[in-house]
Amino acid sequence: MSSQITRRRFNAALAGAGLAAALAPFGIVRAQARKVRIGVILPRSGYLGFLGQSCQKGADLAPAVIKDMLGVDIELMNADFESNVDTARTRAERLIQEGANVLIGAFDSGASAAIAQVAEQRGIPFVVNIAAAPQITEQGYKFTVRNFPTSVDLVRNGLALIGDLFQATNTAPRSAVFMHVNDTFGQANAKAIAALMPRLTQLPFKIVETIAYDPAAKDLTVEVSKAKATNADFLLNVCRVQDSIILRREMVKQRWQPMGIIGPGNPGMYEEQYYKALGKLSEYSISNVPWYHPKADITRAVEKQFLKQNPKDKPMYHALNVGFTFESILIIADAFKRAKTADPKALNDAIHQTDIKNRMMLGGPIKFNAKGQVEGIASACIQNLNLRPTVVLPANAAEAKPVFPVPGYKKA
């Protein structure tokens, strides 16, 4: 077959190219208006694997719920960054190359910062679902927004809720012993608490002693006996799930019965494993964390879809992860509906104009400030009641009244 270009061939090719060029814009508009392609980058394996999979459940249920809510079609493009920052960067590049109009992720601050740089270079909007490092929205990025409180806000909200708890229960503990894990997360929290406590003058208590411990510790006998010896009114505990179980058991063993255990913004005590391992001993532990509004219509829709897709699981154990991941996709769908196009630049402009009042998580409307940060995301006071995490504060979202001081072990 001859590869020579004849006049006839050239004319045919020219006509074909002209037709394609003429029709292309319509094709693009039609294709773009139909659905938005969202690249979901989460750590579904590696040391953050469990949490990444929990977030993924929020992403997986979003297309069905949002289709009902907004009539928007969503195509998810999932990527696992294996809890590795290098992989997060290359996965982001890959998703953009495969045609993602927008990215969400990444649960981890380091990975989110790496993805934000790629998004910025490629002009693709990036919605951070969970990552607390304040600097992510302090870099002057034009394409990165975050619907999650910063680490400082998390602790500030958690500590403020302790004051609300004392007010709601007419109590005024004077002292607390502060125990925290000595990993990166625990150290960051301890520093934030040390910086914030002197400024929160409405809190009636003082921290009488701070005890750091290894999150992988198999025995906390010494730490608990040291804490008990302080005679503090309650235990302020920044923990993770494994150590919180060991700590609670040790408290029972040593018959230490403070007025309560309060986590000022950390996971651990509302997680499924905590209930399963401790049974009734898990009761009354308190965690002040961002949570979904249990009475919101959107929460019911999400819970229904969650149970449909995960019949053996319970949404309350994934509240934070599912809630914020779902809301990230909701932000994009809402922007897509207004922009009427999946063009990344138009979508980015629309995302920055977001004003969603009917939301799932507690707090004010989803509205980004000039830096791309949602302000006013609230925390809830979650107390373990009847072997489930129950919202007890703020009052407008409460499912039950808070119990503080907590009853003795035998009554539990």
Partner 1 sequence: MRRATAGLALLAALLAVLPAFARGYALSVATLILYFAYTGQAWNVMMGFAGQLSLGHSLYVGVGAYAAGALFFHYGIGPWAGLWVAILLCVALGLLVGFLAFRFGISGVYFALLTIAFAEFTRIGFDHLDWIGGPAGMFLRVAQRDTWDLANFRGPPVMYYYAMLFLTAGAFALCSFLLKSKAGYYWLAIRENEEAAQALGINTFAWKMLAVAVSSAMTAVAGVFFAFYYNNLFPEQIFHISRSIEIILGPIIGGIGTLFGPILGAAVLTLLSDGITELLGALGWELPGIKQVFYGIVLLIVIVFLPHGIWPGLARKLRLDR
Give the binding site for partner 1 (CB under 8 A).
44-45, 49, 52-53, 78, 80, 82, 85-87, 89-90, 93-94, 96-97, 109-110, 113-114, 117-118, 120-122, 133, 135-136, 138-140, 142, 151, 183-185, 187-188, 191
Q: Which of 191, 177, 135 is nearest to 372 (CA)?
A: 135
Q: How far apart are CA 382 and CA 263, in angstroms?
A: 10
Q: Per DSSP, what are the bridge partners of residue 170?
A: none
What is the smallest separation between the CB atom of 132 and partner 1, expressed in angstroms? 9
Contact 66, 2 (CB under 8 A): no
State the Cα torsion 367-371-373-376 to the nearest 10°.
-70
Query: What letter would DSSP give residue 356?
Result: B
Q: Per DSSP, what are the bridge partners of residue 390?
A: 383
Greatest C-alpha distance within the chain: 96
What is the smallest separation between the CB atom of 92 and partner 1, expressed in angstroms? 8
Q: Which is nearer to partner 1, 77 or 277 (CB)?
A: 77
Residue for token pair 């402009």: 349
What is the smallest separation between the CB atom of 91 and partner 1, expressed in angstroms? 8
Q: Which is nearer to partner 1, 173 or 265 (CB)?
A: 265
Q: How far apart are CA 47 and CA 84, in angstroms?
A: 9
Residue for token pair 């154990």: 317
What type of residue is 201? Answer: T
What type of residue is 103? Answer: L
Distance of CA 116 to the CA centre of its chain: 17
Q: Which is nearer to partner 1, 95 or 329 (CB)?
A: 95
Q: How far is CA 19 from CA 28, 33, 119, in A?
A: 14, 22, 33
Q: Which is nearer to partner 1, 68 or 86 (CB)?
A: 86
Q: Which is nearer to partner 1, 6 or 97 (CB)?
A: 97
Q: Which is nearer to partner 1, 151 or 384 (CB)?
A: 151
Q: Which is nearer to partner 1, 118 or 241 (CB)?
A: 118
* Residue 336, phi-psi category: left (phi > 0), alpha (psi -120 to 50), beta (remainder): alpha
Q: Which is nearer to partner 1, 165 or 190 (CB)?
A: 190
Q: How far apart are CA 183 and CA 42, in angstroms?
A: 22
Q: Which is nearer to partner 1, 216 or 395 (CB)?
A: 216
Q: How far apart are CA 122 and CA 115, in angstroms?
A: 11
Q: How far apart are CA 203 and CA 156, in angstroms?
A: 12
CA atoms in the 13 A half-sphere facing the CB of 117: 12
Tokens of 235: 């235990």
Q: Which is nearer to partner 1, 49 or 204 (CB)?
A: 49
